[in-house]
C-alpha cells in the first residue's frame, strides 16, 4: 500500500483557558475579543497524522476547517504544527453545526480522495461530539471513535485501532479508507516552533466557497432559545469534624 493521504478536520474554538461568558441578549456566548485556538482533540488528531508522515506512512497531511474566514488562523496553526496544506470551506452564515461540517467534509473527501480521515473525538465548544459519526455515515466508511492507539497495517490495507470504551479497551481492525476520531491519550501534541510558525505562512491555504462545493444552503435545525450563566456558588462552611459534616449533609438532603 502506498503512503496515505490523510485529511484532518480542525475546528476553531474558544481557548480552553478562557472563562466563557454569555453574550448580551442571552442567545450565545461572547466571542468578540476572546482568544480562540485549535480544538485540543483536533491537535491530537493532527499530531497523529504528522507522526504518520514523519515515519513515511503518510504522504500528505491536509488540514481542513469549515467555518468563517477567522478559521484561517486555526489552519495556519495546523500548518505550523506540520500539516502540508490547508483548506477552508467558508460556511455562508454563523458557525456550522455538525451536520453542515460533516456535509462539507464529505464533499472535500470526494475531491481530495484521502485514505484516512482523522478528527477530534469532540470539540470543546458545544461538546456535540457527532461530526465524526455523521461523516463516516455520509461516506459509508468504517469508523473507530475515541482512538487511543493507531497502527497502520499497509500489507493488509488496514488500520488496527485501540479505543477507550467504558470499563476497558477495544481493538478493531478497519479496512481503509476509514475515519478515526482521536481521544486524549492517543499522543501528546507538540508545540509549534517559531521557525515552523514562519514556514507556515508560506504553505498553501485554499479558501473554497460553500456553493463551489455543490453543497445545498445550510438549514439550521436548532435555535438557541436562551443561555444562562450557572448560578453563583454560595460561600463554603467549615465544620469541626466528620460527624458534623454527616449531620449537615443529612440536613440539606444530600445523603
Examine residue 128 and tell whether it contacts ligand AMP (CB under 6 A). yes
Examine residue 130 and tell whether it contacts ligand AMP (CB under 6 A). yes
| Residue whose Cβ sits closest to ligand AMP | 120
Which range touches ligand AMP (CB under 6 A), out of 7-15, 30-38, 191-199, 220-228? 7-15
Task: Count Cβ atoms below 10 Å from residue 53 Cβ, excluding itself.
Answer: 18
Which range touches ligand AMP (CB under 6 A), out of 23-31, 128-136, 192-200, 229-237? 128-136
Please say which residue, 87 or 200, places its beta carbon nearer to ligand AMP: 87
Examine residue 101 and tell whether it contacts ligand AMP (CB under 6 A). yes
Please say which residue, 138 or 245, places its beta carbon nearer to ligand AMP: 138
Residue 130 burial (C-beta neighbours within 10 Å; 0-12, 13-18, 19+): middle
The string over 106-127, giving b where at least 16 C-beta atoms fall within 10 Å of a residue's C-beta and e elsewhere, is bbbbeeeebbbbbbbbbbbbee
Q: Which of 132, 142, 177, 189 binds ligand AMP (CB under 6 A)?
A: 132
Write the binding mask 46 to 85 for ligand AMP: x where contact by CB under 6 A, - elsewhere.
------------------xxxx------------------
Q: How far is the CB of 248 from ligand AMP (least distance, A)?
A: 39
Q: Are 34 and 143 in contact (CB under 8 A)?
A: no
Examine residue 189 and tell whether it contacts ligand AMP (CB under 6 A). no
Q: Are 49 and 6 in contact (CB under 8 A)?
A: yes
Phi, psi of 45 (to 5 degrees): -60, -45
Which range touches ligand AMP (CB under 6 A), out of 95-103, 148-156, 166-174, 220-228? 95-103
Contacts 24+ apart (CB under 8 A), 135-142: 135/9, 135/102, 135/105, 135/106, 135/109, 135/179, 136/179, 138/102, 138/103, 138/106, 139/106, 139/109, 139/177, 139/179, 141/117, 141/177, 141/178, 141/179, 142/174, 142/175, 142/178, 142/179
The CA-based diameter of the chain, rounded to the nearest angstrom, is: 69
Q: How far is the CB of 139 from ligand AMP (least distance, A)?
A: 14
Q: How far is the CB of 57 from ligand AMP (least distance, A)?
A: 20
Q: How many residues bind ligand AMP (CB under 6 A)?
A: 23
Examine residue 98 and tell whether it contacts ligand AMP (CB under 6 A). yes
**Binding site residues, ligand AMP, CB under 6 A:** 9-11, 39, 41-42, 45, 64-67, 96, 98, 101, 119-120, 122-123, 128-132
Amino acid at each position: 500500500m502506498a503512503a496515505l493521504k490523510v485529511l484532518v478536520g480542525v475546528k476553531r474554538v474558544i481557548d480552553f483557558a478562557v472563562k466563557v461568558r454569555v453574550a448580551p441578549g442571552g442567545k450565545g456566548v461572547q466571542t468578540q475579543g476572546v482568544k480562540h485556538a485549535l480544538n485540543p482533540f483536533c491537535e491530537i488528531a493532527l499530531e497523529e497524522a504528522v507522526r504518520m508522515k514523519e515515519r513515511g506512512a503518510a504522504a500528505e497531511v491536509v488540514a481542513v476547517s469549515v467555518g468563517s474566514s477567522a478559521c484561517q488562523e486555526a489552519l495556519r496553526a495546523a500548518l505550523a504544527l506540520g500539516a502540508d496544506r490547508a483548506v477552508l470551506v467558508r460556511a455562508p452564515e454563523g458557525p456550522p453545526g455538525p451536520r453542515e461540517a460533516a456535509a462539507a467534509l464529505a464533499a472535500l473527501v470526494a475531491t481530495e480522495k484521502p485514505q484516512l480521515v482523522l478528527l477530534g473525538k469532540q470539540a470543546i465548544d458545544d461538546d456535540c461530539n457527532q461530526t465524526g459519526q455523521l461523516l463516516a455515515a455520509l461516506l459509508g466508511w468504517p469508523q473507530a471513535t475515541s482512538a487511543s492507539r493507531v497502527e497502520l497495517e499497509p500489507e493488509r490495507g488496514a488500520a488496527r485501532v485501540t479505543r477507550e470504551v467504558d470499563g476497558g479497551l477495544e481493538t478493531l481492525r478497519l479496512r481503509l479508507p476509514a475515519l478515526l476520531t482521536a481521544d486524549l491519550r492517543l499522543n501528546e501534541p507538540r508545540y509549534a516552533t517559531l521557525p515552523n510558525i514562519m514556514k507556515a505562512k508560506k504553505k498553501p491555504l485554499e479558501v473554497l466557497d460553500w456553493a463551489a462545493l455543490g453543497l445545498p444552503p445550510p438549514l439550521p435545525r436548532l435555535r438557541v432559545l436562551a443561555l444562562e450563566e450557572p448560578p453563583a456558588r454560595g460561600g463554603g462552611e467549615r465544620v469541626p469534624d466528620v460527624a458534623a459534616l454527616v449531620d449537615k449533609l443529612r440536613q440539606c438532603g444530600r445523603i
